[in-house]
A and B are shown apart, each in its own frame.
Chain A
């Protein structure tokens, strides 16, 4: 997914696109200021929105967090250009939610407070485990954040007709500044509302285009596929597997491991479970999220094939933004400037909302886990902690603006799959062991987190995505000795193995905390309650 700018292929009316986006910003800002003015002073308000969201609201917000611009534009584009492989890719993102539903969401809500580290360090030595968990939280959030910010540059080229690098940089900076405002003013409550509004717009928008496409084919999937085969230069291969991944199927298997085990280890998703009052609402959140995300991927399947039919593979690849142009180009073809404007506005809103969610997660982890628990030994007042979280949010915002501008135009789409790979290798083994393996201890947790993190990042550094190929980040040099484009095939088993090895080589075990954690995780006794305002 590279974002290339071709100036003469501008679609629609850039002013209209910008106008709709500005309207979204205005409406959400008003809402953020309103919810924030009521109450956003305590740590629970700032990090967890007072734990006062319903399961349905939080489920919609989770879908909003998860359906980033990369999945909206990227998956629809992958179906349009590569057909079946786009579907194959999207299924991993959906099935992964069953891990969260069955094993993670409820016990996490019952035992934690604000961050992933709360759960991982519950029955362990605080400092080493919190430091490790916060490190991996910030690494995952940063990879994800950078991918989103750099992607914003390409989106600007595609939808606003801005091809100049400096001007794109200004728009990236604007996105960053808006994100900082949302986080500082709105906290988790404001961010959640932005996600809810964005998710509803995104799913409705995709649904409308999807119905328009299916109407042409009498709501007959086979007829749609038949037309796609007829329209595609690849013929029948567009409905068969391996048009995209055929050259390197093992890398796809590795990616699918990252996807299915990664979603339930993404810190910004885990943190969402603290915004509901009970474990039962956390369960309801996930079932809503699964329904919405599943419906959305079914829409993207139809959008993708629709774009292949009505726009055509060559036209999509020639458009600014390349593969990512499929969904906007289809919207333009079917609904003209207005529908394109809505889709463009939603795509921008998506980037804005996702980066805000990531920023608040990283800021909470730094303030709660590193500043308060490790540096201050847990003695900082909640007011101080929140103050540090706010400062951290500004710092992260500035770093991500600088990083996003620097990475603009770079091929860094792999960062999203790297974020999933790190979440799957460093976070999930530790989460599952702490919840379900009685004997698990500090050394196991620390080895598993650092081992998964270092191996995932290290293997990517020595893979073809970073060097050796024309499409690599550094095409001029070659230090790639790891053949796969995703590390999960090695790093996920390694994370689980190191967790086991560290545990059995250490005698440390806190039986009292183990019984407290197990009873609390299963019953919800003593769990953090909602704040009544």
Chain B
């Protein structure tokens, strides 16, 4: 009933049961909802899973590097290039203030891009694999 590395008494009704099994299932036995080790390994090796992982990583990893580089560029310029950051751009808004506000803009933008990517590119594939694992036991 419980995951193998986390022994728990079978009296806990909350483990591994999809919502439609509430209240406690009468038709299904002890193994309801449990996914076998072989299934995990089969899915991990499947083309669909490899594709899901590729789609996720090819977006998340480069974006992580990008925002970290952009943030530390901003921090290092603010700490060690005060003269440059103090150049006025529009009225009293200087380079530093503009870059600071741009950090807000890029953070919001990246959030929106990732949510869109995940909704369109990741969720359908993840759902298909999840249904395969949870339904096909």
Contacts and interface: CB of A to CB of B under 8 A. Distances in A.
Given A287-B115, A523-B43, A524-B130, A256 B75 contact: yes
Given A242-B82, A512-B37, A524-B130, A529 B17 contact: yes
B96 A290 contact: no
Interface in A188-243: 221-223, 225-226, 229, 236, 239-242
Contacts of B112: 287
A250 B76 CA distance: 9
Nearest to A241: B78
Given A519-B40, A519-B49, A97 B130 contact: no
A239 B43 CA distance: 55
A42 B9 CA distance: 14
Nearest to A277: B19
Given A377-B7, A513-B5, A522 B52 contact: yes
Interface string A91-119: 11011011101110010000001000010
Interface string B85-104: 11000111110110010011
Contact of B93 (A121, A222, A250): A222
B96 A44 contact: no
A126 B97 contact: no
Interface residues of B, number: 69
B121 interface: no
A382 B10 CA distance: 11
A518 interface: yes
B91 A223 contact: yes
Contacts of A256: 71-72, 75
A135 interface: no
Q: What is the interface residue range for chain A against chain B?
A: 35 or more
B97 A382 contact: no
A260 B119 CA distance: 25
A222 B89 CA distance: 10
Contacts of A373: 6
B111 A240 contact: no
B131 to A, nearest CB: 9
B64 to A, nearest CB: 5
A87 B40 contact: no
B79 A87 contact: no
A532 interface: yes
B127 to A, nearest CB: 8
Given A225-B91, A522-B56, A245 B14 contact: no
A221 B68 contact: no
A291 interface: yes
Nearest to B129: A523
Nearest to A525: B133
A530 B17 CA distance: 9
Contacts of A126: 5-6
B12 A382 contact: yes
A280 interface: yes
Contact of A529 (B8, B18, B34, B123): B18
Contacts of A245: 79
| Cβ-closest 10 pairs across A and B | A222-B91, A225-B92, A249-B79, A525-B133, A532-B22, A378-B7, A241-B78, A240-B86, A515-B44, A523-B129
8 contacts: A91-B71, A91-B74, A99-B64, A126-B5, A239-B96, A283-B115, A512-B40, A519-B129
Given A239-B97, A516-B3, A526-B16, 6 more contacts: A222-B90, A381-B12, A519-B44, A522-B126, A524-B126, A526-B34
